[in-house]
Amino acid sequence: MFKKEKLGRIKEKRTDWEKNCYSKTIKVHPERKSKFENLSGTEIKSIYTPEDISNLDYNGNVGFPGVYPFLRGVHSTMYRGRLWTMRQFAGFGSAEETNERYKYLLEHGETGLSVAFDYPTLYGYDTDHPLARGEFGKCGVAISSLKDMELLFSDIPVDKITTSMTINGPAAIVWAMYIANAENRGISNDVIGGTIQNDILKEYIAQKSYIFPPEPSMRLIVDTFEYGFKKIPRWNTISISGYHIREAGSTAIQELAFTLGDGLEYVKAAMNRGLEIDKFAPRLSFFFNSHNDFFEEIAKYRAARRIWAKELKKLGAKKTRSLLMRFHTQTAGCSLTAQQPEVNIVRVTMQALAAVLGGTQSLHTNSMDEALALPSEKAVRIALRTQQIIAEESGVTDTIDPLGGSYYVEWLTDKMEEETYRYFDKVEKFGGVIPAIERGFFQREIAESAYRYQREIDENKRVVVGVNEYKTDEELSIPILRMNEKGEQCQINRLKKLRKERNQSKFDRNLKRLKKAAEGDENLMPYILDCVHGYATLGETCDVLREVFGEYKEPAIY
């Protein structure tokens, strides 16, 4: 720790500065004494000194990257060795349209793919299901069968790039489609890499695109863990997501605490199954939001790494890779404005820079037009160029963790860790994450935070440029993406043809075997793969599991 004599001298100097400099200015400008709070409601002091971080671990040292507890980064060389993966989230309309967008992005320098699915797909429905009508391709690509997956990745080298898929309730089935597509192309399972989001707990908490109740959903997730480390060794079988928790209105501290709490719940579930932590933990990954408060976001990522490493070690992890928190970041969709949309480019740049300075492994930058529609080619190209400028022109990748040791950043990192453990204690009093969900704890916390933030905007206590300050009357001048109106009918026709041409006896046999396995306790991934290879659709496969598991109905908690 800092020597007491040194801290004493610093305290004297600070007292002298406050008396002879700061207080004199405040007397002349009393408005400058206003209370400052970040987005989590943490009060921020006017200045930070070594006094504020005198209790740091490692005798006042913040440590080194690639070394436990990984505060400064999970890799010893970080971006000096390899840049983060530039992975633009994309998907709209049909598989053919989205395939064209992927090729466009790869041509312009994207280094990894990220799939957005439409709502029917997220809920496990085929495009021709009555509940899917009118929602085709609107917030992502429609994938109803292996045939669609084949079209989605047509002429794309899935053995050379990684693919992230934001899918939760039917994650095991969509992942099986990706695996089956690679197998049909002669690509070995040990070379395909990527991530399925597969995070059902945050669906109950925030995004609400769940299908099955918690217990069978957790079973499916552990099935993917087990199948992944045995058969698909380069695949991250979960991306534990704080992003949607933040988009629902949480603070940065709540995002951090709830996400890590979910992650620990998955680890415990897998261990309860009998899986060895050092076999599945290396393939766990995370997904965070990057919002507007620059330093708060950076501190959040640094605290996340340290907490995760300490907690996994407590649970018995021995391998270094098991302790690493590797995460993807997406800039904050909820911060984008429909007013003066070009200004969103500036917001996204600041948010992306915070993610990089916080040590992200993968990054998506939102497009300026996403408060209005799915992004146009021009908008998504600018968003990708934003990452490339940060990487190639800003100089922030030259040294590792350049903000490490900052009095403010280190104090804020410690503060966020402290508040996270307070939330852990609250959840523990409910008996764990699932009982806390059933009692509405997370939902109420997020709702109250969202209400507080919106009220601050409405009352002009928090400025949103172009919304409650610096407004203009200029008309919208950016192009908006328009989807092919015939796409939905083409998809329905493809489904009709698929059902007519597939081997019906093989189809029936595979679904019966899946149902029997679901009624028992076997790992369901091999059975799901058989169904997918036999061209059972997403909806048909989910319906078998719905019949066995039932569907989740959120309890009345408000």
Question: Nearest 5°: CA angle at 283, between 282 and 286?
Answer: 105
Q: Which residue shows structure tokens 């992890």?
A: 317
pLDDT on residue 478 = 83
Identify whether 491 is part of a domain. no
Identify whether 493 is part of a domain. no
Integer Cα distance of 162 and 182 in angstroms: 12
Alpha helix stretches (DSSP H) within 238-290: 243-247, 252-273, 277-280
Integer Cα distance of 30 and 61 in angstroms: 37
Domain that holds residue 116: 78-458
pLDDT average per 10 residues of sequence, the chain (558 residues): 73 89 87 85 93 65 92 97 96 96 97 97 98 94 98 97 98 98 97 98 96 98 98 98 98 98 98 98 98 98 98 98 98 96 97 98 97 94 98 97 96 97 98 96 97 96 95 84 86 96 97 98 98 98 98 80
pLDDT on residue 59 = 44
pLDDT on residue 2 = 58
Identify whether 37 is part of a domain. no
CATH of the domain at 324: 3.20.20.240
Q: Cα separations (Å) of 427 from 421, 431, 440, 500?
A: 10, 7, 11, 51
Output the DSSP codes for 461-476. SS--BTTTBS---PPP
Q: Residue 239 forms beta bridges with which residues?
A: 285
Beta carbons of 124 and 211 less than 8 angstroms apart: yes
Integer Cα distance of 265 and 271 in angstroms: 10
Sequence length of the chain is 558
- For 489, the token pair is 């009918």
Identify whether 256 is part of a domain. yes
pLDDT on residue 8 = 83
Q: Residue 113 forms beta bridges with which residues?
A: 163
Identify whether 57 is part of a domain. no
pLDDT on residue 55 = 66
Identify whether 488 is part of a domain. no
Integer Cα distance of 303 and 296 in angstroms: 10
Identify whether 232 is part of a domain. yes
The domain tally of the chain equals 1
Identify whether 226 is part of a domain. yes
Q: Which residue shows structure tokens 């998504």?
A: 380
